[in-house]
């Protein structure tokens, strides 16, 4: 049951990321069409592509990129004995968890401050108001919490099962 729910969650997050990429691609094509065919570029397409890029990067890194997919410089780590690798993995996981959690409140304060600033050209679909930057950058707060939770889980996993092999 847990594996089924996990697979379902993975598929949902992959679908969301694919949707964001598709929206960015369509917006980019619309930008090209408006600039070179209509000879009147739409101002909102560039800003919308940038917003989508921010969401793709942080959403993807939070929910889709696995630990083994990250670039690592692990020459010393792999050359160390198992006990040293376990200590290094524990220190790294704890550092990332503590660092993300320690920085979360000041980061959220700044993201919350951005509610007074709004997008230049992109507007909300129903109200027509410009979008607060807090809405756009809120994905970074989600990213921080998810990464902290993932590395807290990694810390527990290393304690239980020993150092991971690469």
> pTM, whole model, 2 decimals?
0.88
Q: Give me the torsion for CA of 28, 29, 32, 34, rounded to 10°.
A: -100
**Over the range 28-45, which residues count as b (16 or more CB within 10 Å of their CB) and which as e?**
eebbeebeeeeeeebebb
Q: Mind listing the pLDDT tens digit for each residue in 47-89? A: 999 999 999 999 999 999 988 888 888 888 888 898 999 999 9
Residue 47 phi, psi dihedral angles, 5° rounding = -65, -40
CB count, 10 Å around CB of 69? 9
Based on its alpha-carbon atoms, the radius of gyration of the chain, rounded to whole angstroms, reads 20
Whole-number pLDDT of residue 166: 58
Q: Mind listing the pLDDT tens digit for each residue in 85-107? A: 999 999 999 999 999 999 999 99
């Amino acid at each position: 049951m847990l594996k089924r729910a996990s697979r379902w969650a993975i598929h949902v997050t992959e679908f969301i990321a694919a949707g964001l990429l598709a929206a960015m691609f369509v917006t980019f094509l619309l930008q090209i069409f408006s600039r070179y065919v209509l000879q009147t570029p739409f101002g909102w397409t560039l800003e919308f592509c940038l917003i989508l890029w921010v969401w793709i990067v942080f959403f993807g890194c939070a929910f889709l990129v696995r630990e083994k997919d990250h670039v690592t410089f692990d020459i010393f780590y792999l050359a160390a004995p198992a006990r040293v690798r376990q200590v290094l993995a524990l220190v790294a996981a704890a550092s990332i968890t503590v660092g993300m959690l320690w920085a979360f409140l000041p980061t959220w304060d700044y993201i919350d401050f951005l509610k007074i600033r709004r997008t230049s050209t992109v507007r909300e679909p129903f109200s027509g108001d410009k979008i607060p930057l807090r809405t756009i950058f809120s994905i970074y707060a989600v990213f921080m919490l998810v990464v902290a939770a993932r590395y807290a889980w990694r810390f527990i996993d290393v304690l239980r099962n020993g150092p991971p092999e690469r």
